[in-house]
Amino acid sequence: MYEKRAPYQVHIETFGCQMNEYDTELVRALLKARGFTFTDDRERADVVLMNTCAIREHAHNKVYGHLADLKTLKRQRNLVVGVLGCMAQNLKQDLIDHESIVDVLVGPDSYRRLPDLIVQAIESQEKGPTRKGLAVDLSEYETYEDILPERAEGINAWIAVMRGCDNFCTFCVVPYTRGRERSRDPQGIVRETQHVASQGYKQVTLLGQNVNSYRYDGWDFSRLITAVAEVPGIERVRFTSPHPKDFPPSLLDAVAGHPKICKHIHLPLQAGNDRILQLMNRTYTRNEYLALVEKIRRRSSDITLTTDLICGFSTESEEEFLDTYEIVREVGYHAAFIFKYSERKHTIAARKYLDDVPDKIKADRVTRLVDLQKGTSLKKNRGMVGRTVQVLVEGDAKKSSAQWMGRSDGNITVVWEKGGSTVRPGDLVGVRITDASVTTLFGKELASR
Ligand code: 5AD
Ligand code: SF4
């Protein structure tokens, strides 16, 4: 039995993308307003929530692993277990039926119902069998406009500018788990930026599944990001992700021209072969993508390009894969996220196409692309040696608290010895690059004036 009454302690684990990080902050705000407190220690929690991802099978498996761990904990004492986010939305009742330890299941558009469902589960558990709670309605309007997220400490604040996606790439589960696309009021986004600036955050990252389709009362994304970048106190603005099909020239102008908008564009390619692109419903061709890259590079050679790639989509042949390989070599990305195709329930591909590329071949294609990309990343990073980059200090380096870690404007990780450094997280500092690895630049801090 619970030995204490409220305030109950909640432990939240977040999986998946940055949008999920942001949603966890929304959930924390909703729970805090209802008197819940939070703990980093799962062993001490009354409620354990997992904010989940459904984008690939691997993401699901991670959550199943954690649920298995929680079974032991739940046998020892009363505990409410909740699954939130995309996996909850995608599997719905199935998850409650098959995972008996799940008490509460809430999808991305139903977080407002979460506090009530948790209270209901706790109160019923105190008396007898837990009353399970399910809230998985998708909404055409919910943007949590009035909720100010309970943000994690740090220098970066995530701000979702839109929710959902209407693109229906055939491999992607997001339109089914996050529903229809809807944009937030720009005034609310600017106010939220002013608020985070007053709290001391130095960087804002604007989030949306496809930021190019942001629309609100005559505002488009370029106008929005520029307004955000004008907020005093904010040093850097990042965004993710645009879609290559409708990348507006005004956004390129903003990235290339505005000193506070970071010179980094994440431009998901997915595949480099026209038949596969069409099968994926990406609505651009290889040549159109290359023309966009060319336009970006011509406008500013300083812009860092990164991408997402999928290997082994339905019916992808070796020759078609080689088209992807070639375009990746040709573009020369600074970094790439490379995935094996993972068939997802409900998607168009799951309904219409065969997942017929053997896993071994998918894995082999991933390895070849990863090797190619590592070579390019290393070459690009080595090319930075001798240059001075402006770095926004984030905190201690992962490997040593004797070193600082931060990021360049182009989003490359930079690490350097603290020595007698007087900088603090949130400061912008010049670092002269002396060495480089595939993922990291190493350097020396320049004396501040
Ligand atoms: N299988 C593999 N990768 C996927 N992605 C999205 N759906 C799938 C899937 N079913 C990748 C895409 C996307 C990134 C966020 O995840 O590359 O851009
Ligand atoms: Fe998924 Fe495509 Fe929407 Fe991205 S743009 S979230 S890949 S459907």
Atom number in ligand 1 closest to CA 172: 7
Report which bound ligand comes closest to the CA of 177. 2
212 and 221 Cβ atoms separated by less than 8 Å: yes
Atom number in ligand 2 closest to CA 168: 8
Q: Identify the residues whose C-beta falls under 6 Å from ligand 2.
A: 165, 167-169, 172, 174-175, 209-210, 243
Per-residue pLDDT, 2: 46
b (16+ CB within 10 A) / e for 346-376: ebbbbeebebebeeeebebbbebbeebbeeb
Ligand 1: distance of its center to the CA of 219 in Å? 29
Selection from 84, 145, 82, 74 nearest residue 110 by Cα: 84
**Percent of the chain whose predicted confidence (pLDDT) is above 90:** 87
Q: What is the mean pLDDT of residues 115-127?
A: 91
What angle (nearest 5°) sits at the alpha carbon of residue 256, between those of residues 251 and 258? 85
Residue 3: is its pLDDT beyond 50? no
Residue 39, number of CB atoms within 10 A of its CB: 16
Residue nearest to atom 14 of ligand 1 (CA): 308
Cα 20 to its chain centre, rounded Å, is 7
Q: Which residues fall within 8 angstroms of residue 150, CB to CB, at 6 or more apart? A: 25, 28, 29, 32
Ligand 2: distance of its center to the CA of 352 in Å? 18
Q: What is the mean pLDDT of residues 28-47?
A: 95
- Check residues 293 and 246 and name the one with the higher pLDDT: 293
Ligand 2: distance of its center to the CA of 92 in Å? 21
Ligand 1 pocket, residue 56 CB under 6 Å: yes
Per-residue pLDDT, 1: 41
Ligand 2 pocket test, candidate residues 20, 173, 210, 342, most atoms within 8 A of CB: 210
Ligand 2: distance of its center to the CA of 247 in Å? 15
User: Would the CA dihedral through 89, 94, 96, 101 be positive or negative?
Assistant: negative
Ligand 1 pocket, residue 270 CB under 6 Å: yes
Query: What does pTM read for this prediction?
Result: 0.95
**CA distance linking residue 308 with residue 191, whole number of Å:** 32
Report which bound ligand comes closest to the CA of 271. 1
Selection from 174, 178, 192, 181 nearest residue 138 by Cα: 178
pLDDT band at 4 (very low <50, low <70, confident <90, very high): low
Residue nearest to atom 18 of ligand 1 (CA): 308
Q: What is the mean pLDDT of residues 302-319?
A: 98
Ligand 1: distance of its center to the CA of 169 in Å? 9
Report which bound ligand comes closest to the CA of 357. 1
Ligand 2: distance of its center to the CA of 239 in Å? 15
Question: Residue 304 in 3-state DSSP?
Answer: strand
Report which bound ligand comes closest to the CA of 308. 1
| CA distances in angstroms from 18 to 14, 24, 52, 207, listed in the order given | 10, 10, 12, 8
Q: Which residues fall within 8 angstroms of residue 420, CB to CB, at 6 or more apart? A: none
Assigned CATH topology for domain 273-382: Transcription Regulator spoIIAA (3.30.750)
Bridge partners for 392 per DSSP? 407, 428
Ligand 2 pocket test, candidate residues 53, 86, 166, 167, most atoms within 8 A of CB: 167
Ligand 1 pocket, residue 63 CB under 6 Å: no
- Segments making up each domain of the chain, as ranges: 2-135, 151-262, 273-382, 388-445
Give the model confidence (pLDDT) of 235-279 as tens digits.
999 999 999 998 999 999 999 999 999 999 999 999 999 999 999
Per-residue pLDDT, 350: 97
Per-residue pLDDT, 406: 98
- Single-letter code of the amino acid located at 189: I
Give the model confidence (pLDDT) of 368-395 as tens digits.
999 999 999 999 999 999 999 999 999 9
What angle (nearest 5°) sits at the alpha carbon of residue 268, between those of residues 264 and 270? 155
**CA distance linking residue 405 with residue 344, whole number of Å:** 37
Ligand 2 pocket test, candidate residues 55, 172, 247, 283, most atoms within 8 A of CB: 172
Give the model confidence (pLDDT) of 419-430 as tens digits.
888 999 999 999
Residue 99: is its pLDDT beyond 80? no
**End-to-end Cα spacing for the chain:** 61
Atom number in ligand 2 closest to CA 270: 7
Cα 139 to its chain centre, rounded Å, is 21
Give the model confidence (pLDDT) of 40-79 as tens digits.
999 899 999 999 999 998 888 889 888 988 998 888 888 9
Selection from 143, 154, 151 nearest residue 186 by Cα: 143
Q: What is the mean pLDDT of residues 322-327?
A: 98
**Residue indicated by tokens 């020239």:** 249
Q: What is the mean pLDDT of residues 146-162?
A: 96
Ligand 2: distance of its center to the CA of 442 in Å? 35
Ligand 1 pocket, residue 406 CB under 6 Å: no
Ligand 2: distance of its center to the CA of 175 in Å? 7
- Check residues 3 and 444 and name the one with the higher pLDDT: 444
Residue 101, number of CB atoms within 10 A of its CB: 19
**CA distance linking residue 158 with residue 299, whole number of Å:** 27
Q: Which residues fall within 8 angstroms of residue 251, CB to CB, at 6 or more apart? A: 212, 221, 222, 225, 242
Do 273-382 and 151-262 have the same topology in CATH? Answer: yes
Per-residue pLDDT, 130: 79
Bridge partners for 133 per DSSP? 104
Assigned CATH topology for domain 151-262: Transcription Regulator spoIIAA (3.30.750)
Give the model confidence (pLDDT) of 348-369 as tens digits.
999 999 999 999 999 999 999 9
Per-residue pLDDT, 325: 98
Residue 285: is its pLDDT beyond 70? yes
Residue 177, number of CB atoms within 10 A of its CB: 27
CATH of domain 388-445: 2.40.50.140
Ligand 1 pocket, residue 243 CB under 6 Å: no
Atom number in ligand 2 closest to CA 178: 6
Give the model confidence (pLDDT) of 163-188 as tens digits.
999 999 999 999 999 999 999 999 99
Give the model confidence (pLDDT) of 202-215 as tens digits.
999 999 999 999 99
Selection from 22, 5, 214 nearest residue 111 by Cα: 22
Per-residue pLDDT, 95: 83
Q: At what angle do helices 18-33 and 114-127 cross, to 10 degrees?
A: 60
**CA distance linking residue 406 with residue 416, whole number of Å:** 9
CATH of domain 2-135: 3.40.50.12160
139 and 107 Cβ atoms separated by less than 8 Å: no
Per-residue pLDDT, 5: 60
pLDDT band at 318 (very low <50, low <70, confident <90, very high): very high
Residue 155: is its pLDDT beyond 90? yes
Residue nearest to atom 4 of ligand 2 (CA): 209
Ligand 1 pocket, residue 443 CB under 6 Å: no
